[in-house]
């Protein structure tokens, strides 16, 4: 009888532990709207040139050339348009145009369609950070190619204004 009581007690305790460790399921919620997160004015805070051919991805800090008069980019979510307020440094973005993500839910690339010239050039920027209404930093990487190979990239860091 003692063995039965001991085995029953161990079995009851094991069942209690297994039942108590049951996995709880919670809802994550809806993802943030990335288009609304992109809306607003962004100011350049840092620029770096990255050697993509280097094993160590060597970088040269170009911020001093861009921060004398900081460039600003304004994105409109309603019209999906952008406008650049030029500052010091080279403007790779054009003066104005349209913008879009490769995937609105999980963007990896930002496309800037320059409409300020007669020819519509599309600039592809790699998203370095995720954007939403609560994140105030944005990193965009602009690759420079030679043939099919990416030889260098400019990384632009922006802060929401």
What is the pLDDT at residue 19? 67
Q: Which of 88, 53, 48 is nearest to 72 (CA)?
A: 88
**Mean pLDDT confidence for 26-49:** 90
Cα–Cα distance between 103 and 78 in angstroms, integer?
A: 17
d(CA 103, CA 113): 16
State how far the Cα of 137 lies from the Cα of 161, in Å rounded to an integer.
10
Among 133, 158, 161, 159, residue whose Cα is nearest residue 31: 133
CA–CA separation, 94 and 100 (whole Å): 15
Cα–Cα distance, 30 to 24 (Å, whole number): 19
- Report pLDDT digits (tens) over 89-105: 888 888 899 999 999 88
Q: How many angstroms separate the CA atoms of 38 and 40, rounded?
A: 6
| pLDDT tens track for 103-155 | 988 999 999 998 876 666 889 999 998 888 889 999 999 999 999 999 999 99
Residue by residue, DSSP assigns 13-68 as HHHHHHHHTPPP-----PPP-HHHHH-EEEEEEEEEEEETTSTT--EEE-HHHHSS
Helix (H, G, I), strand (E, B) or coil at 156: strand
């Amino acid at each position: 009888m003692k063995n039965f009581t001991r085995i029953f007690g161990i079995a009851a305790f094991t069942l209690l532990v297994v039942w108590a460790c049951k996995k709880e399921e919670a809802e994550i919620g809806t993802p943030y709207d990335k288009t609304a997160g992109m809306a607003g004015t962004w100011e350049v805070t840092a620029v770096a040139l990255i050697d993509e051919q280097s094993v160590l991805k060597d970088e040269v800090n170009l911020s001093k050339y861009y921060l004398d008069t900081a460039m600003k980019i304004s994105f409109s979510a309603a019209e999906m348009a952008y406008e650049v307020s030029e500052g010091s440094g080279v403007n790779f973005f054009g003066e104005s145009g349209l913008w879009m993500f490769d995937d609105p839910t999980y963007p990896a690339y930002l496309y800037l369609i320059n409409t300020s010239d007669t020819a519509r050039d599309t600039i592809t920027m790699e998203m370095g950070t995720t954007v939403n209404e609560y994140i105030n930093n944005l990193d965009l990487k602009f690759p420079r190619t030679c043939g099919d190979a990416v030889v260098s990239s400019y990384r632009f860091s922006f802060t929401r204004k």
